[in-house]
């Protein structure tokens, strides 16, 4: 974090030909008020032309070298002087040059009073995967972030626990909208409730994602660290991003429903199911978490077997069972035996919660060798101004710190990359066998490979480059373009191989939309 902030400040000073102090003020003015924590850390005294971000942050003790561990650095070390290697000399020189206050006690941005309350809220939602603001306790909210309706269909009455997206209509919703799909009341022409007329027998169903950071759609906007594009507008979405855990489920491949503001376009399984049957409006749940493994899938599923519609559940932990930041990364990967146990246990849980007639689709793990092959020699957003930081350097820096999102794939070690993909294939084969052999009372079960190859081929046909399918800042997650293309491929597979999963097309969709617009929302 320190290296990132100092790098941006130094580059702002360079780009605007200003002092470091002026660059720091500029960055502070870009960032919304309560998030201006940078004011609390006086970096100005330490940054000068002789010191790169690594030197500054090690000198501040925000970065440190543990005994017996290598000295981690993002930038190439300064030129060697005297008898000391470059970075060691620079650190010693910085220590002699100024009296530096140690920031060893600063462990989190949550230490700042203005952010303490917000941090507590975020810890709550991360721990529980439930909306922070949910007054009636039905697991749905009228608030967008903090696991609100960006993650689950928007509640239409947060004071009534029996009103929420996905339930079967109460008495055909003659008097009110009990399932929040916007369809209620009675047709004055014939006295038939609209829900009964348009949705009875329509195979209404919701979509649920159980996934990891890829499913949650992790994204750090590159304009946050690209000084040539940086402005006040660049950070306008910071509060929303922070309270959504740097995830953007509202644009995601499975549950996206808003037009993308982070590049590309939004196409999702939810939107396609909604177009197929307008009665499915708002019936979505994204129960994903950054860093989630199959062993730790925490279920906060909102589904009542007696009162609610069936659901399509996408079970997609596409990488974390082989991805970790440990030096001995292979030893910390999920084994096929563990995978079998974890997934079967999760499916039994789902069988106790899902209404009869539901469907579960198991998604295989990705082949992450695509990441290194596509990015390693390209410049990271932090390195584009001076052409000094490649993704290979970023991966090595994160790996040295033991915080790499995937030491097995984000490495120059080709043998390790191949072994990681081999384990991923073994785990995918476990999922495939579960789909073939296991039977459950309330849902049928299917398997599909993660459609990376098809996505890359489709993007190539459109004139795109492989690296554009990967998030530019972290160099790891699928980009918005990849998410949208993946939706199209998944949908086509389902249409041709499992048409029963998608349900039939509602012949009344146009009528529903027309009445919906005429009546101003209902």
What positions carry a catalytic annotation? 213
Helices (H), 185-326: 194-199, 213-216, 238-243, 269-276
- H or E stretch covering 313: strand 311-316
Tokens read off for 353: 């919660």
Cα gap 482→511, rounded to integer Å: 34
Among residues 319, 219, 287, 253, the alpha carbon closest in space to that of 482 is found at: 253
Per the listing, tokens 């006295």 go with: 191
Cα gap 79→77, rounded to integer Å: 6
Among residues 336, 323, 290, the alpha carbon closest in space to that of 417 is found at: 323
- CA end-to-end distance (rounded Å), the chain: 47
> Alpha-carbon dihedral of residues 433, 435, 440, 443, nearest 10 degrees?
170
Give, to the nearest 10 degrees, the angle between helix 414-437 and helix 336-351. Answer: 40
- H or E stretch covering 510: helix 509-518
Beta pairing class for 443-448 and 358-363? parallel
Supply φ then ψ for residue 499, to 5 degrees: -60, -25
Kindly list the distances between the CA atom of residue 46 and the CA atoms of 7, 53, 80, 124, 291, in Å, as whole numbers in the listed order: 13, 10, 20, 37, 35
Cα gap 129→151, rounded to integer Å: 10
Mapping DSSP to helix (H, G, I), strand (E, B) and coil, where does residue 152 land? strand
Helices (H), 65-173: 86-97, 113-128
* CB atoms closer than 10 angstroms to residue 295: 16
Kindly list the distances between the CA atom of residue 12 and the CA atoms of 34, 57, 286, in Å, as whole numbers in the listed order: 21, 17, 38
Mapping DSSP to helix (H, G, I), strand (E, B) and coil, where does residue 446 land? strand
Residues 406/319, Cβ–Cβ less than 8 Å: yes
Q: How big is the chain, counted in residues?
A: 522
* CB atoms closer than 10 angstroms to residue 41: 16
Among residues 236, 175, 254, the alpha carbon closest in space to that of 522 is found at: 175
Among residues 365, 374, 367, 415, the alpha carbon closest in space to that of 395 is found at: 374
Per the listing, tokens 């490649």 go with: 390
Residues 244/473, Cβ–Cβ less than 8 Å: no
């Amino acid at each position: 974090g320190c290296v990132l902030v100092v790098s941006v400040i130094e580059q702002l000073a360079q780009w605007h030909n200003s002092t470091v102090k002026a660059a720091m003020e500029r960055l502070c003015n870009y960032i919304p008020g309560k998030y201006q924590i940078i004011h609390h850390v006086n970096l100005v005294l330490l940054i000068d032309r002789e010191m790169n971000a690594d030197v500054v942050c090690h000198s501040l003790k925000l970065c440190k070298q543990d005994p017996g561990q290598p000295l981690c650095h993002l930038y190439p070390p300064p030129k060697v002087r005297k008898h000391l290697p470059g970075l060691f000399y620079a650190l010693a020189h910085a220590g002699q040059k100024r009296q530096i206050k140690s920031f060893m006690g600063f462990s989190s941005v949550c230490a700042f009073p203005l952010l303490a309350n917000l941090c507590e809220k975020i810890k709550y939602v991360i721990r529980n995967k439930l909306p922070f603001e949910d007054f009636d306790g039905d697991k749905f909210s009228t608030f967008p972030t903090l696991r609100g309706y960006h993650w689950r269909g928007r509640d239409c009455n947060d004071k009534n626990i029996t009103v929420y997206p996905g339930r079967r209509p109460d008495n055909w919703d003659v008097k009110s909208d009990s399932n929040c799909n916007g369809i209620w009341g009675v047709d004055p022409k014939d006295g038939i409730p609209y829900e009964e007329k348009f949705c009875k027998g329509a195979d209404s169903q919701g979509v649920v994602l159980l996934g990891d950071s890829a499913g949650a759609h992790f994204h750090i906007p590159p304009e946050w660290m690209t000084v040539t594009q940086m402005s006040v507008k660049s950070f306008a979405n910071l509060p929303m991003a922070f309270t959504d855990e740097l995830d953007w489920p509202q644009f995601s491949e499975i549950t996206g429903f808003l037009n993308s503001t982070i590049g590309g376009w939004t196409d999702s399984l939810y939107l396609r199911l909604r177009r197929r049957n307008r009665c499915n409006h708002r019936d979505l749940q994204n129960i994903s978490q950054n860093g989630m493994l199959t062993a730790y899938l925490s279920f906060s599923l909102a589904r009542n077997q007696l009162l609610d519609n069936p659901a399509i559940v996408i079970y997609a932990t596409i990488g974390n069972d082989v991805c970790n930041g440990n030096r001995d990364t292979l030893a910390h990967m999920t084994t096929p035996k563990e995978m079998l146990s974890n997934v079967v246990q999760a499916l039994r849980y789902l069988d106790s919660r899902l209404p009869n007639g539901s469907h579960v689709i198991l998604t295989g793990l990705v082949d992450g060798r695509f990441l290194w092959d596509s990015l390693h020699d390209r410049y990271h957003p932090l390195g584009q101004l001076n052409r000094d930081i490649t993704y290979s350097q970023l991966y090595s820096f994160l790996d040295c710190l033991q915080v790499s999102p995937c030491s097995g794939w984000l490495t120059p070690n080709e043998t390790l990359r191949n072994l990681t993909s081999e384990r991923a294939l073994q785990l995918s084969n476990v999922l495939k066998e579960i789909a073939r052999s296991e039977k459950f009372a309330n849902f049928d079960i299917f398997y599909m490979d993660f459609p990376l190859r098809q996505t890359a081929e489709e993007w190539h046909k459109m004139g795109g480059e492989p690296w554009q399918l990967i998030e530019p800042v972290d160099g790891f997650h699928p980009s918005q373009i990849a998410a949208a293309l993946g939706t199209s491929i998944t949908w086509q597979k389902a249409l041709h191989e499992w048409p029963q999963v998608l349900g039939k097309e509602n012949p009344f969709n146009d009528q529903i939309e027309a009445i919906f617009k005429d009546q101003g929302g209902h």
